Copies of this chain bind each other. A is one copy, B any other.
Amino acid sequence: MGRTLTYPKRSSNTVNRYKHRATYDLGAIHTIINASPVLHVSFNPGPDDPFPTIIPMIGQMGSFEYPSASINEPLECYLHGYVSSRIMNLARASDGEGLPICVATSQVDGLILSLTPNSHSYNYRSAVLHGYANLVTDEQEKLWAMELITNSVLEGRWDNSLKVQDGSGKIRDGGVSDERKDTEDANVTGRIWTGVVPVWQTFGTPIPSGEGKLAEVPQHITSYIETKNKQNRALAENAVVVQLPPEEQH
């Protein structure tokens, strides 16, 4: 299966809670980032402001230097923003390595309904990257990044690139896990339904604007919708490992 590249574990990205759900694999983390319609990007606006802030941005992982690099290899995170926005001005003005930022995303895959409130949970996939943001100034790299992000659906004007220092992901899948004291209490198990409600993002029927004159929705759009809906549903449903009743477990 070849080697698996992982991000270094630093204090900033090390997952301490539910460590068994953590991943530092480049492929897993990059896949979660690239599947996100929106990324949340955090930065510190300046010395006079006590609060870090977060803005929603569109972005994709990629390598301009090695465009054929696979999702498992070291990649940069390209973020799309307006040329005179605050984060861009801060990145432009930053000395040294660039503007320290954090990129995060989370996707809920299911509601875990268990016997007690304390054991309720979500199935989810989340990822975090830390790194230094710099403006993309090379014209060729800009065009390349625009196309990369356009292909993931975009509102487009400008690009910012993140040299990733570290990253981590966290994935929860599977079914319900209740405590034995509850699962062995017939009073509780006879009264409360437990299981998982899968959750996924659905793309609906396209609503035409009247500006374009094509009578029919073209096939590249209808098949994108069909494929994504199937994939999203399968992902949410497959995240649930259907548990056998205890007497059938070995």
Contacts and interface: CB of A to CB of B under 8 A. Distances in A.
A2 interface: no
Contact of A153 (B82, B120, B216): B120
Among A54, A85, A106, A154, max chain B CB count under 10 A is at A54
Interface in A201-217: 201-214, 216-217
B201 A38 contact: no
Interface in A226-248: 233, 236-237, 240, 242-246
A72 interface: no
Nearest to A225: B197
Contact of A201 (B201, B206, B240): B201
A67 interface: no
A62 interface: no
Contact of A237 (B146, B204, B237): B204
Interface size class of A (residues with CB under 8 A): 35 or more
A202 B203 CA distance: 10
Interface of A: 11-13, 16-17, 37-38, 40, 42-45, 49-56, 82, 85-86, 100-104, 106, 108, 111-115, 117-118, 120-122, 124, 126, 128, 130-131, 146, 150, 153-157, 165, 175-176, 178, 183, 186, 189-214, 216-218, 221, 225, 233, 236-237, 240, 242-246
A193 B208 CA distance: 8
